[in-house]
């Protein structure tokens, strides 16, 4: 039948810059507030870019299930042009054959359940090392920044899986730092992104120069990584083929393979795999420990479960995890309140599309506010409270089928790293909670913990988490 067309509600903005000024450093919060007033679908005029913001489970279902194919592309942004070799990576590549083949390759060679299973011993070794280094801090009675440790630990873990050997601690720290800078560039408003004729402003303000210098730094690190990999391949022999080996192999066989990879492709793919694997996992580990420190009863409950299951063991191993239902509920609750990518990654509409009578024109940018959806009182009881119990005996999962809970997104562009991430995070937290008791430094109280978030594509807590571990034999 003929459905009536409606105009999408839109907060009134200033002319020219439109609604750009209404975004803050924590856009998920300002957009959530705007949606309370204008409704679960809003149209913002960000310069020349029409952006639709979705803030309800029902509409997320329309965009990412019913009409998923229409919204399976990504916008071309200045940051992806400069940092990702013009979007040659998996996360920012436009929807199409290259993206499809690269995704298939990444899943079969790195991220599938089977591959993730094959990294079990590697994960256990990395986590055991982490426990050991925290033990030596604990025996000195010291305070340390767990956030800092989480940051390089996660970059080390993903590099180990991608390269099949460990990188030095300095390199882990350097990568973690550079990844953090990336996420800021991806939300920083470059004038050119919004007004193509205003590139001179980026140049004048020095933003473009900074972006270029950051790219040069990455480029050198990636070149060195590939160089080192090739030169050490002989001594590594054929045992333990890594994801990077597979990429280099595809590069060599360009005629027979379905995708054609140049060195730039490989660098873009590496960069994003390492960054995606580091950044959100770090944020999730950090937020989860923060919530547990703020809720000592829940921390104790999680520790009791873990310690009972791993009783008498020198480390918690992968096979123990399936029984740790409370720990899993804690992680799920942490993902609900603090989704590491609160607006997912931006989507772009591939062709004109009609949803609930609203016409969404081709090229419209779409942001799904999963942060707001996870705190929607329509879907969640006392949504602001950290209550892992809500996930016990409850089928709600993060597999992209429950649209009130989407920390990994849904549909074609959903995160392909879920297995990788959840195995790493569960094993790490299980070990840290099993072997240590965690206290705030003397004189600090829970009320002193500052929950302010800091901006970027991904959302961290601004304050670093400083704790005093006590080894528990
Ligand atoms: C707690 C950890 C993680 C969270 C919360 C997370 C979340 C997300 C989200 C929300 C997206 C965007 C989905 C969308 O647009 O609908 C995404 C994309 C992606 N993630 Fe993750 N992720 C995590 C860990 C990982 C890990 C460990 C890897 C790889 C080692 C990874 C690789 C990717 C890639 C490659 C994409 C782009 C997919 C595409 O555009 O086709 N992620 N992730």
Any domain includes 392: no
Any domain includes 136: yes
Note the pLDDT of residue 354: 95
Q: Which atom of ligand 1 is nearest to the CA of 340?
A: 5
Mean pLDDT of 291-304: 98
Q: Which atom of ligand 1 is nearest to the CA of 278?
A: 27
Any domain includes 43: no
Binding annotation for heme: 415
What are 338-349's pLDDT values in tens digits? 999 999 999 999
Any domain includes 274: yes
For residues 446 and 297, give the distance between their C-alpha atoms in angstroms, rounded to a whole number.
Answer: 13
Q: Name the 3-class secondary structure at 54.
A: strand
pLDDT exceeds cutoff 50 at 125 = yes
pTM for this predicted structure: 0.95
pLDDT band at 255 (very low <50, low <70, confident <90, very high): low
Cβ(302) to ligand 1 under 6 A? no
Q: Whose CA is nearest to atom 37 of ligand 1?
A: 91
What are 83-116's pLDDT values in tens digits? 999 999 999 999 999 999 999 999 999 999 999 9
Any domain includes 368: no
Cβ(409) to ligand 1 under 6 A? yes
3-state helix, strand, coil split of the chain in percent (to 5) is 55, 10, 35
Note the pLDDT of residue 454: 83
pLDDT band at 185 (very low <50, low <70, confident <90, very high): confident
- Could you tell me which residues come within 8 angstroms of residue 119 by beta carbon, excluding any fewer than 6 positions away? 161, 420, 423
pLDDT exceeds cutoff 90 at 235 = no
CATH number at residue 331: 1.10.630.10
pLDDT exceeds cutoff 80 at 256 = no
If one residue of 280, 284, 286, 414 were mutated to test the ligand 1 pocket, choosing by the most ligand atoms within 8 A of its CB, it would be: 280
pLDDT exceeds cutoff 60 at 373 = yes
- Please answer whether residues 92 and 74 qualify as being in contact, where contact means their C-beta atoms are separated by less than 8 angstroms: yes
If one residue of 75, 162, 276 were mutated to test the ligand 1 pocket, choosing by the most ligand atoms within 8 A of its CB, it would be: 276
Note the pLDDT of residue 19: 58
- Higher-scoring residue by pLDDT: 141, 127: 127
Q: Measured in angstroms, how far is the CA atom of residue 473 from the centroid of ligand 1?
A: 36
Any domain includes 175: yes
- Could you tell me which residues come within 8 angstroms of residue 350 by beta carbon, excluding any fewer than 6 positions away? 69, 70, 71, 72, 73, 95, 362
Q: Whose CA is nearest to atom 4 of ligand 1?
A: 280
Q: Measured in angstroms, how far is the CA atom of residue 450 from the centroid of ligand 1?
A: 27
What are 384-394's pLDDT values in tens digits? 999 999 999 88
Number of domains present in the structure of the chain: 1
Burial per residue of 370-392, b for 16 or more beta-carbon CB atoms within 10 angstroms, e otherwise: bbbbbbbeebbeeeeebbbebbe
Q: Measured in angstroms, how far is the CA atom of residue 270 from the centroid of ligand 1?
A: 14
**Which structural domain, as residue segments, surrounds residue 183?**
77-341+415-471
Give me the residues paired with residue 466 across strands. Answer: 145
Binding annotation: 415
For residues 1 and 3, give the distance between their C-alpha atoms in angstroms, rounded to a whole number.
Answer: 6
Q: Whose CA is nearest to atom 40 of ligand 1?
A: 91
Cβ(123) to ligand 1 under 6 A? no
Q: Name the 3-class secondary structure at 60.
A: helix
Q: Whose CA is nearest to atom 6 of ligand 1?
A: 408
pLDDT exceeds cutoff 70 at 458 = yes
Note the pLDDT of residue 241: 83
- Could you tell me which residues come within 8 angstroms of residue 333 by beta carbon, excluding any fewer than 6 positions away? 291, 386, 387, 388, 390, 391
Q: Measured in angstroms, how far is the CA atom of residue 23 from the centroid of ligand 1?
A: 23
Any domain includes 446: yes
Q: Measured in angstroms, how far is the CA atom of residue 437 from the centroid of ligand 1?
A: 31
Nearest Cα to 317, choosing from 121, 179, 174? Answer: 121
What are 411-445's pLDDT values in tens digits? 999 999 999 999 999 999 999 999 999 999 998 99
Q: Measured in angstroms, how far is the CA atom of residue 273 from the centroid of ligand 1?
A: 9
Any domain includes 365: no
What are 6-22's pLDDT values in tens digits? 889 888 765 545 555 55
């Amino acid at each position: 039948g003929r459905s009536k067309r409606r105009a999408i509600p839109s907060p009134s903005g200033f002319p020219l810059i439109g609604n750009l000024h209404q975004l803050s450093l924590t856009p998920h919060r300002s957009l959530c507030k705007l949606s309370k007033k204008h409704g679960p679908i809003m149209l913002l005029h960000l310069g020349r870019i029409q952006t639709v913001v979705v803030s309800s489970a029902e509409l997320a279902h329309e965009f990412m299930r019913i009409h998923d194919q229409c919204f399976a592309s990504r916008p071309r942004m200045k940051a992806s042009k400069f940092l990702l070799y013009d979007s040659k990576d998996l996360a920012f590549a436009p929807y199409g054959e290259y993206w499809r083949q690269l995704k298939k390759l990444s899943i079969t060679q790195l991220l599938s359940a089977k591959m993730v299973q094959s990294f079990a011993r590697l994960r256990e070794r990395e986590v055991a090392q982490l426990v050991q280094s925290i033990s030596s801090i604990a025996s000195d009675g010291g305070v340390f920044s767990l956030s800092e440790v989480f940051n390089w630990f996660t970059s080390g873990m993903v590099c180990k899986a991608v390269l099949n050997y460990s990188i030095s601690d300095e390199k882990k720290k350097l990568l973690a730092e550079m990844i953090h800078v990336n996420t800021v560039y991806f939300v920083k408003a470059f004038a050119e992104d919004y007004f193509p004729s205003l590139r001179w402003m980026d140049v004048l303000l020095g933003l473009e120069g900074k972006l270029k210098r950051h790219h040069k730094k990455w480029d050198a690190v990636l070149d060195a990584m590939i160089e080192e990999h090739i030169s050490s391949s002989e001594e590594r022999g054929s045992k333990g083929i890594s994801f990077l080996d597979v990429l280099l192999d595809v590069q060599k066989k360009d005629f027979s393979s379905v995708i054609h990879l140049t060195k730039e492709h490989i660098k873009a793919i590496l960069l994003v795999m390492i960054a995606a694997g580091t950044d959100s996992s770090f944020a999730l580990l950090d937020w989860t420990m923060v919530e547990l420190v703020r809720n000592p009863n829940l921390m104790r409950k999680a520790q009791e479960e873990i310690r009972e299951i791993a009783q008498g063991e020198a480390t918690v191993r992968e096979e123990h995890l399936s029984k740790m239902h409370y720990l899993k509920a804690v992680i799920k609750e942490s993902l609900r309140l603090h989704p590491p990518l609160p607006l997912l990654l931006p989507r772009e509409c591939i062709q004109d599309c009609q949803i609930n009578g609203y016409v969404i024109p081709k090229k419209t940018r779409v942001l799904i506010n999963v942060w707001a959806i996870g705190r929607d009182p329509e879907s969640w009881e006392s949504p602001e409270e950290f209550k892992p119990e809500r996930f016990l005996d409850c089928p709600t999962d993060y597999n992209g089928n429950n649209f009130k809970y989407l920390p990994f997104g849904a549909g074609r562009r959903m995160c392909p790293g879920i297995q990788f991430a959840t195995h790493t995070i569960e094993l790490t937290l299980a070990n840290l909670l099993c072997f240590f008791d965690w206290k705030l430094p003397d004189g600090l109280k829970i009320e002193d913990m500052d929950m302010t978030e800091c901006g970027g594509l991904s959302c961290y807590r601004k304050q670093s988490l400083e704790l005093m571990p006590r080894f528990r034999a």
